[in-house]
Amino acid sequence: MTPSLRLLALAAAVSLASACSILPQSEPVDIYRLPVNQPSHVATPVDWSLRLNKPLASEALAGPRIAVIPQGDVLSSYKGARWSDPAPLLVRNRLLDGFQRDGRVLRLSADDSNLQADYELAGELQAFQSEYQGGKVQVVIRYDARLVQGRSQRIVTSRRFEVRQPLASNDVSAVVAGFGAASDQLAAQVVDWTVAQSTQAQAQAKNQ
């Protein structure tokens, strides 16, 4: 190799080393699952099937960020922390788990499988964040649910569910635990409402 080629190779190596040294270091991220703290039950099963759809959500809530509103209308997220799945998927799977633990609806499916069911549970996730108000922090989950007849796609009924879970600390681990407690409440309310409304609709259909 000629001296000029050696100089060019050395300059290229120095340039590459400099470029590598100024690249930003990737920030470590903690991945959190949505906690569950509900017992399973043995109950009399219903005679209809249910499919759960992922709720629709705005772009800000559609990803895996753990959302927080620190003040006013500013929507931010906790640094270095993420959910294990996008928020709509977390909510759908949490509701699915809630139905399974409840034990009354045995014929369950999710929209990923695209199976036919007597009824479908769909809706919009309007809020899935922690909020600071008056120096206190709370988890807020707001879910607009729609119960839909499977074959006709007719809306049987709808309802807004809103759960607010106060937190004793603003540490990420406490916030995640608060999301778990709020999701437990949401699941219990949605399961009871869905079972009652679907059973009533099924009875009316048989009497017609």
Task: Give the Cβ contact number of residue 72 at 10 Å.
Answer: 7
Mean pLDDT for the stretch of residues 47-68: 97
Report the pLDDT value the prediction gives residue 205, as an integer from 0 to 100. 81
Mean pLDDT for the stretch of residues 47-74: 96
Return the bridge partners of 165, or none.
Answer: 139
> What is the Cβ-side half-sphere exposure of residue 101, based on CA atoms within 13 angstroms?
17
List, for residues 103-130, the tens digit of each pLDDT value.
Answer: 999 999 999 998 999 999 999 999 999 9
Tokens 């569950």 correspond to what residue?
Answer: 36
**Is a pLDDT exceeding 50 seen at residue 96?**
yes
Report the pLDDT value the prediction gives residue 204, as an integer from 0 to 100. 85
Rounded Cα distance, 85 and 37, in Å: 19
Mean pLDDT for the stretch of residues 168-187: 96
Report the pLDDT value the prediction gives residue 10, as an integer from 0 to 100. 47
Rounded Cα distance, 69 and 80, in Å: 16
Return the bridge partners of 91, or none.
Answer: none
List, for residues 3-24, the tens digit of each pLDDT value.
Answer: 554 544 444 444 544 444 455 5
Report the pLDDT value the prediction gives residue 22, as an integer from 0 to 100. 56
Report the pLDDT value the prediction gives residue 33, as an integer from 0 to 100. 96
Domains, the chain, with CATH or none:
30-207 (3.40.50.10610)
Q: How confident is the model at residue 77 (pLDDT cuts 50, 70, 90)?
A: very high
Cβ-contact 103, 45 below 8 angstroms:
yes
Q: Please give the single-letter amino acid code of residue 105.
A: V
